[in-house]
Amino acid sequence: MPQQNILVFTAQAALEGERLTQVLKARIQPDSLEFFTTVKALYKRLRRPLSRPAAAILLPADEKDLDNLISIHDFLLHLPIILILPGQSHDLVTKGHSLRPRFLTFADSDFSDVAAVLTKMLTNVDSKENDPEVKS
């Protein structure tokens, strides 16, 4: 199976970032994970056409980080997104949905659901790449 890079944005202020990192590294090949702590760094990576990432996991620390992610929405359109919101307010959830995530959860979860969904996403991507009936 070819390596599938996963972009992981954990805002510098997101305390849950380290916990998410540990869960992901336990379930996903660590060298396939690309970590970013600023939206600017993530944006620069998304502009590099070297290789298309398989998915993005976004963990904004607050509404400002979410707004910054929304500002680069056009560069995220082609990616399956797992969005981990810092709270469950109606405004945050509404804004979060504008990123069109495949899966949305909250920072107070144990992240096992994130790892399970990501594993399933990668399996589906790999199946499509190996299926001669599916055209890109």
Structural domain contains residue 136: no
What is the per-residue pLDDT across 1-31, written as a single tens digit (0 to 9) for each? 356 789 999 987 667 888 999 999 998 888 8
Q: What percent of the chain has pLDDT over 90?
A: 60
| Residue pair 12/40 in contact by the 8 Å Cβ criterion | no
Q: What is the CATH number of the domain that holds 55?
A: 3.40.50.2300
How many domains are there within the chain? 1
Q: What is the mean pLDDT of residues 61-72?
A: 96
Asked whether residue 135 is assigned to any structural domain, the reply reads no
Task: List the domain range (segments joined by +) for residue 109.
Answer: 6-130
Res. 38: pLDDT tops 60:
yes
pLDDT at 14: 65
Tell me whether residue 1 is in a domain.
no
Residue predicted with more confidence, 12 or 136: 12
Tell me the pLDDT tens digit for each residue of 73-109: 999 998 999 999 999 999 999 999 999 999 999 999 9
| Average of per-residue pLDDT values in the chain | 87
Report the alpha-carbon distance of residue 33 to residue 5 in Å, rounded: 6
The DSSP result for 101-115, as a single string, is -SEEEETTS-SHHHH
Q: Regarding predicted confidence, which is higher, 4 or 71? A: 71
